[in-house]
Structure 1
């Protein structure tokens, strides 16, 4: 395996990891900001108030984007990883 092929495969894998994690991280950030603003406005400092809604939003987004994640990882595996393994 050449260095160029190794680094290109690694770059593709990292980009796919960013694409797959972006929706979940964006929703976690948005919900965290909204809950933080709500806590600052009402002076309620309850730890479960931030944890439970954020986890519910993350699970919801994960459930909605699970098909996209599966297809993207499957395509990367079959189009990139399998040919590399078969070639060596």
Structure 2
């Protein structure tokens, strides 16, 4: 395995990691901004008010996008990693 192939595989793996994590990170960001705005407007400074909705929304998004994540990872593994290991 030469350096070019290794760097290409690492680049593809990082791109897949970004694509897989983007929906959950986007939901956490949006929820954090909305909850922070709500807290600033109402002067309610409860710690669980920020934590519980974010975790609930992230679990919901994870459940909805689980098939996309599994498909993306298995396609990368079967299309890139296995042929590299097999030497073809």
Aligned twin of 1:13: 13
Q: 1:3 aligned to 2:15? A: no
- Structure 2 residue runs of 5 or longer lacking an equivalent are none
Root-mean-square deviation over aligned CA pairs: 0.9
- Structure 1 residue runs of 5 or longer lacking an equivalent are none
Equivalences, count: 88
- Per-residue deviation at 1:22? 0.3
Distance in 2 between residues matched to 1:45 and 1:20, nearest whole Å: 32
Distance in 1 between residues matched to 2:31 and 2:60, nearest whole Å: 12
Distance in 1 between residues matched to 2:84 and 2:63, nearest whole Å: 31
- Per-residue deviation at 1:80? 0.3
Matches within 5 A, 1:2-41: 2-41=2-41
Distance in 2 between residues matched to 1:57 and 1:37, nearest whole Å: 17
Regions of 4+ moved over 2 Å = none
- Per-residue deviation at 1:70? 0.1
Aligned twin of 1:83: 83
- Per-residue deviation at 1:86? 0.5
Q: TM-score, normalised by structure 2?
A: 0.98
